[in-house]
Chains A and B, each alone.
Chain A
Amino acid sequence: MKKRDLFDMQVLLDSSYALSPRPMVVVNPYDGATLESIFSAMSGGVVDPILVGKKTLIRKSAETVHIPLEGMRIIPADEDSTAVAASLICEGKAHFIMKGMVGTGAFFHVLFEPRFKIRTQGVLSHVGMFEIPSTKRIFLMSDAAINILPNFSRKIHIISNAVDAAHKLGFPQIRVALLAAIEKLNLPAMPATLDAFLMKRFAETGYFGRCEVDGPFAFDNAIDPRSAGTKGIGGNVAGNANILIAPNIETGNVIWKSITCIHGGDAAGVVLGGTCPIVVPSRADNAKTKLNSILFSRLLLE
């Protein structure tokens, strides 16, 4: 994998425009932001969209936001739109899938029916990408959306998924920080510190491949070298992490929303651990975030 510019997230995501288009199936694309993002990705030659859902609703939504549907294949489906989309993935006719106006629970429930063979032995996890301009670094973070309170075994899968994504994105050095509130073990009050301490030890087996894993770290000491230096926290990961592993969904979600809402930064997210990337944007996400997520997923197909 070619080493990409990892200082600017948009430059990294835009590198997907140089790749060949891949078929992407979208379930119930009835909202303007989803259709806009699909249109932009198609116009950039990133995807060949296949829209699955009620034809009249798709056409009506497209007319509302003035999105031409030329070049987009539409497969009519009613209640079984997720199943139709999943069968396209199963048959290799689509290489990744995006969720539109369908409940997340129902979407995954159908998607992971054994007949579609999308679920693997691995654990699904959400990997988010964002940048913090002051750090001049792109971050991957997991898990803000899928795993509620992962145990140690699940965290192994979560880290693996994030590290795999970083490799595919061409991160030259992968530094995984396991987040907690403090850097020291605090038992039994802070179980996240125990998992982080033991994960660092477990990483010595080489299970995660070429990367460095360290923790526990408070957020500032994971991303900011000055904070880490002031507190005298040693190691290559302290202050220089580019993968952040949250101990639970609350922490992950709050960091994710803080970055996107307060900081106003661009973000992209994808669910990994299945046979293909799954784009599961929030309904409140704007077209830009949805497009970023499509581009992110496309990069992971390489």
Chain B
Amino acid sequence: MKCRYNRVYQFITDDVNVINVRIRFLQGESMKYTLSCLCYNRPGVLAKVARLFSEEGINIYSLAAGEVEEKDKSRITIVVDVEKQTLKRAEKKLEKIEEVIQLYDLKEGELIARELLLIKIRVRPENIPQILQTAELFNAQVIAVSDVSMVLTLAEEEKRVNGMINLFKKVGIIEMSRSGKLAVSGVD
């Protein structure tokens, strides 16, 4: 029964989220979009893409770039917080960049996305159980430890990465680095 209620609750919350997104879209408010840009791996491509967004006054929320399965090509995954009209304009300009092969506007629900987090936290004896419980909750891995600090890694959805960071704020974050969203389109 509990499971069924959870599922019903999930449907309701999903619907509410979709409605909220539509309202924001109709009101012309800015929203987060994930763009996946397949391009040739040549010097200056990233600078061109970044400059284009800068010219349009678009703030890049996160950006991750890396080689794809073909050696001479790269994928740049960009998350931007922008109005739809401005995004359309930027997309048209992006497609005109010589090195850009294809541009995908990945919609939530149609993409598989993860973010990689490396986080170094302060270790105090009294906080150790809490740290390990949090790591276990999020399925984070401890990859280095000393008497005073610990480094954990997590590859998860952005929401969960944010959730773990928030919990570790109470413990004491010494240093952290996150990759930005990495995404591929969903399976057929």
Contact status A197-B145, CB under 8 Å: yes
| Separation of A204 and B126 alpha carbons in the complex (Å) | 8
Q: Mark B124-140, 1 if CB is under 8 A from A, else 0.
A: 01101100110010000
Q: Shortest distance in angstroms between B129's beta carbon and chain A's nearest beta carbon?
A: 6
CB-CB contacts below 8 Å: B109-145 with A? 123, 125-126, 128-129, 132-133, 136, 141-145
Question: Which B residues are CB-close (under 8 A) to A20?
Answer: none
Contact status B143-A187, CB under 8 Å: yes
B70 lies within 8 A of chain A by Cβ: no
* Of listed A151, A194, A198, A204, residue having the most chain B CB within 10 A: A198
| Separation of A205 and B128 alpha carbons in the complex (Å) | 10
How many of chain B's residues touch chain A, expressed as a range? Answer: 10 to 19
Q: Shortest distance in angstroms between B132's beta carbon and chain A's nearest beta carbon?
A: 4
Question: Which A residues are CB-close (under 8 A) to B123?
Answer: 198, 201
B147 lies within 8 A of chain A by Cβ: yes
* Cβ-closest chain A residue relative to B129: A153
Contact status A201-B143, CB under 8 Å: no
Q: Mark B35-74, 1 if CB is under 8 A from A, else 0.
A: 0000000000000000000000000000000000000000
Q: Shortest distance in angstroms between A43's beta carbon and chain B's nearest beta carbon?
A: 46
Q: Shortest distance in angstroms between B47's beta carbon and chain A's nearest beta carbon?
A: 37
| Separation of A156 and B142 alpha carbons in the complex (Å) | 19
Contact status B142-A201, CB under 8 Å: no
Question: Which A residues are CB-close (under 8 A) to B126?
Answer: 202, 205
Binding site for A on B (CB under 8 A): 123, 125-126, 128-129, 132-133, 136, 141-145, 147
A17 lies within 8 A of chain B by Cβ: no
Contact status A188-B143, CB under 8 Å: yes
Question: Which B residues are CB-close (under 8 A) to A205?
Answer: 125-126
A108 lies within 8 A of chain B by Cβ: no
- 8 new A-B contacts, CB < 8 A, other than A153-B129, A202-B128, are A187-B142, A187-B144, A188-B142, A188-B143, A198-B145, A202-B129, A203-B125, A204-B125
Question: Which A residues are CB-close (under 8 A) to B136?
Answer: 151
Question: Which A residues are CB-close (under 8 A) to B128?
Answer: 152, 198, 201-202
Can you give 12 contacting A-B residue pairs, CB < 8 Å? A152-B128, A153-B132, A153-B133, A185-B145, A187-B142, A187-B143, A187-B145, A188-B141, A198-B123, A202-B129, A204-B125, A205-B126
Binding site for B on A (CB under 8 A): 151-153, 156, 185, 187-188, 194, 197-198, 201-205
Contact status B129-A194, CB under 8 Å: no
Q: Shortest distance in angstroms between A153's beta carbon and chain B's nearest beta carbon?
A: 6
Number of A-B contacts (CB under 8 A): 37
| Separation of A156 and B129 alpha carbons in the complex (Å) | 9
* Cβ-closest chain A residue relative to B143: A187
| Separation of A156 and B130 alpha carbons in the complex (Å) | 12
| Separation of A197 and B128 alpha carbons in the complex (Å) | 11
Question: Which A residues are CB-close (under 8 A) to B145?
Answer: 185, 187, 194, 197-198
Question: Which A residues are CB-close (under 8 A) to B133?
Answer: 152-153
| Separation of A151 and B142 alpha carbons in the complex (Å) | 14
Question: Which B residues are CB-close (under 8 A) to A188?
Answer: 141-143
Given that A188-B143, A194-B142 are known contacts, is A201 also in contact with B125, CB under 8 Å in the complex? Answer: yes
Q: Shortest distance in angstroms between B131's beta carbon and chain A's nearest beta carbon?
A: 8
Question: Which A residues are CB-close (under 8 A) to B144?
Answer: 187
Given that A194-B142, A201-B123, A205-B126 are known contacts, is A151 also in contact with B132, CB under 8 Å in the complex? Answer: yes
* Cβ-closest chain A residue relative to B132: A152
Question: Which B residues are CB-close (under 8 A) to A152?
Answer: 128-129, 132-133
Q: Shortest distance in angstroms between B146's beta carbon and chain A's nearest beta carbon?
A: 9
Given that A204-B125, A205-B125, A205-B126 are known contacts, is A198 also in contact with B132, CB under 8 Å in the complex? Answer: yes
| Separation of A194 and B128 alpha carbons in the complex (Å) | 11
* Cβ-closest chain B residue relative to A199: B128
* Of listed B126, B128, B142, residue having the most chain A CB within 10 A: B128
| Separation of A202 and B142 alpha carbons in the complex (Å) | 16
Question: Which B residues are CB-close (under 8 A) to A187?
Answer: 142-145
Q: Shortest distance in angstroms between B144's beta carbon and chain A's nearest beta carbon?
A: 7
Q: Shortest distance in angstroms between A244's beta carbon and chain B's nearest beta carbon?
A: 21
* Cβ-closest chain B residue relative to A193: B145
| Separation of A205 and B143 alpha carbons in the complex (Å) | 24
Contact status B132-A201, CB under 8 Å: no
Report the 6 A-B pairs with minimum CB-CB distance, sorted nearest first.
A152-B132, A204-B125, A202-B128, A205-B125, A198-B128, A205-B126
